[in-house]
Chain A
């Protein structure tokens, strides 16, 4: 009885308390961004994802930084020189650099940060991006000490870096997340917890104001940045929203101003967004492809790999399934890398594919063993797999079984080469073909096909030590030609496109670019 009478009172009390507790609201930030899932870390040495990298570009500044069109421009370094042999870079830091806590920032901070990223104890997932520095690989693998890594700091404003090979893109590489500086005293004092808002120290255009798990990262203009007037907005909130329909609802209702990722736009409505003034598609340095396991039959036979590759109608996949104006991929490296002309690649050719399968001993697919196509569970991967399965059946007469696995199991299968054909994708880290082609060098962790070709390895090695830029790119194109027109350990299917959504009447400083770089400091309200 008391219970029944108490229900309305209890209801009222709970609702009132809830209302009050939810009333602790903050004023809206100048810019609200849907940034994807919850960031796993804001420690540049540990970052491996794009969404964390985006935040780190605002919180820290490397020797160089990317502008809103993705071009490398001077960052903490105001200028640099390269030696005649292209292997020694001397960076000159700006004279007025400070950390967000007021401490001066010197070349020793960069040296410490790079060595920390290489230190095996840090377990940086991207340490190999520093391997171009002389002695870096040996230190990371525990074969030598930190002193043997050839980074010198003759004075607080000068950093001298010795490389193993001429690396023309090295200055732009120093804008990459793993190369960003960290504040030594803070890292050493707080260990893994140094990136919490109460302890964090950085040198970027913004400082970390708040970080609520699964909710938002709040950034505030850093008054100690060397040129604070360049930063246009005072406060930015990056929401942790991974579901595309939710992100799109937030954007459509005006609760978010900017969608920074194609993954945050529901695939079903993508075709309807074309032509809208707030939809901004652009190229992206990323490729969707299939891998063959060349260590076991039947894909040990290059004719069969080639037949499978030529039987795929890639046009129908981008037109019917992805529907985001993705360019069909005949090569692994997308077009648009300055100075690089990828090889032509091979278009779909069903009759040649049938001939190759016949030559391999399986006319019209007769007697072909049952093989499977592995993909990680997602609607898009499944639709593409079903379409390609049907194409192989139609053109080659072979039955391919579909096998989907959840993410961690799928990665394990790739690592163990426990597949026949597997879906994959690769996003370039810097605008050079090496970021794609290096994956398929013999024994690389990202090779994941079992494929090995001494000619390919030697071309990549020669490219590494080639001082002439155009000759270097020719060597890389020659290597890529082996990959996509002769050996076929992979079949490129399409290149991703990047999509931004923002109202161009309200916001500027955002331009679609190959590296999908959109520095927060350059975003601002349109001045009318």
Chain B
């Protein structure tokens, strides 16, 4: 177990470095400079800025300098938000995305799994079809439609929650629900299909023959192996939901890290983009590792070898 974790962690390091280097090169190769604006900057000033931020040499030199700094724990300074280090920006904004994301993640699982289980238990009946339809609906509505509609109904129609902002618990409700809802559908459908497959297996048939009640059969016997596809999906889901959603953060003015993905690329703020990508990459690797570990816990046939 420990050697499995160590092996995986060690193999993650080169992956993270390759991702970081690729991201750095892509942003630097894109046309445009982080220092241009609608007001022209004289070439001498631009050159001064480039050398100040370590972007003056050739591209390989810039990359080597950057990777060298990163390995020493220095992710650099933002090129647009002057005087702010990338670490500082991530330190301030990531916890907000993590808070919102963890609520949405738990909500997605807490609602999606029972929903899928009931849909599987009521397979073929009216309730099952309704539950399945609901899951499909939540899955199909994009967040940029869902969020404004939620604001319209719950902030202006029935003024229950504020339409945007950050700092009070009530301001968390709408963004958390809107972020969670599409994933509720995915979790429900994965649980349902996993369960339907498991229900047909021999051990479930045996349990049923022994007279185990239907709810116990579903929730105590069949659900555990049926969750395997969901666990595999939950790793990348957790990484993406926790690092913030650009759309949700923008619509609800959540000061999270998601917006820096896009604004960083638009501004060619290479250190900021690379820093945010690195965090996303590390979270993705971590949650995939957790997902693999959970999968082995759920199904003893899966061995922790790779």
**Interface residues in chain A, defined as those with a beta carbon under 8 Å from any beta carbon in chain B:** 1, 3-4, 7-8, 10-11, 14-15, 18-19, 21-26, 37-38, 40-41, 43, 46, 48, 120-121, 123-127, 141-142, 191-196, 212-215, 239-243, 245-246, 249-250, 252-253, 255, 406-413, 415, 424-425, 444-446, 448
Contact = CB atoms under 8 A, between A and B. Distances in A.
Interface residues of B, number: 70
A123 B102 contact: no
A10 B280 CA distance: 24
Interface string B41-55: 110110011001000
Given A7-B109, A255-B162, A123 B49 contact: yes
B106 A415 contact: no
Contacts of A410: 32
Contacts of B297: 3
Contacts of B42: 445
Contact of B40 (A241, A252, A406, A415): A415
| Of listed A7, A23, A193, A213, residue having the most chain B CB within 10 A | A213
Contact of B31 (A41, A127, A408): A408
Interface string B254-267: 01100110010011
Given A7-B110, A253-B163, A18 B103 contact: yes
A477 B171 CA distance: 54
Nearest to A127: B45
24 contacts: A3-B298, A7-B113, A11-B109, A19-B172, A23-B168, A24-B167, A124-B45, A125-B39, A142-B44, A212-B92, A213-B89, A213-B255, A214-B259, A215-B166, A249-B151, A250-B163, A252-B156, A408-B32, A408-B36, A411-B38, A412-B32, A425-B38, A445-B41, A445-B42
B28 to A, nearest CB: 12
B184 interface: no
A3 to B, nearest CB: 7
A249 B106 contact: no
B12 interface: no
B167 A25 contact: yes
Given A22-B167, A214-B259, A14 B156 contact: no
B80 A123 contact: no
Given A253-B162, A409-B30, 16 more contacts: A11-B109, A14-B106, A18-B102, A18-B169, A23-B168, A123-B45, A191-B83, A212-B92, A213-B255, A214-B255, A249-B163, A249-B164, A407-B267, A408-B33, A409-B31, A445-B39
**Which are the 7 A-B pairs with shortest beta-carbon distances?**
A408-B32, A445-B40, A214-B255, A215-B255, A249-B163, A192-B83, A11-B110
A14 B242 CA distance: 13
B290 interface: no
Nearest to B152: A249
Interface in B165-193: 165-169, 171-172
B39 to A, nearest CB: 6
B224 interface: yes
Contacts of A191: 83
A38 B81 contact: yes
Contacts of A425: 38
Contact of B83 (A21, A142, A196): A196
A15 B81 contact: no
A250 B33 CA distance: 34
A119 B51 CA distance: 16
A6 B171 CA distance: 27
B236 interface: no
A23 B250 contact: no
A122 to B, nearest CB: 9
A126 B39 contact: yes
B211 to A, nearest CB: 19
Given A22-B169, A406-B266, A246 B164 contact: yes
Contact of A3 (B41, B106, B224): B224
Q: Among B44, B93, B253, B267, which residue has the most Cβ atoms of chain A within 10 A?
A: B253
A246 B44 contact: no
Contacts of B250: 242-243, 246
Given A125-B39, A415-B40, A10 B83 contact: no
B148 to A, nearest CB: 7
A249 to B, nearest CB: 4
A410 B36 CA distance: 10
A191 B34 CA distance: 21
A4 to B, nearest CB: 5
Contact of A125 (B41, B84, B259): B41
A253 B34 CA distance: 37
B301 interface: no
A121 B98 CA distance: 39
Nearest to A121: B48
Residue from B39, B93, B166 whose CB has the most chain A CB atoms within 10 Å: B39
Contacts of A8: 110
B37 interface: yes
A514 B31 CA distance: 35
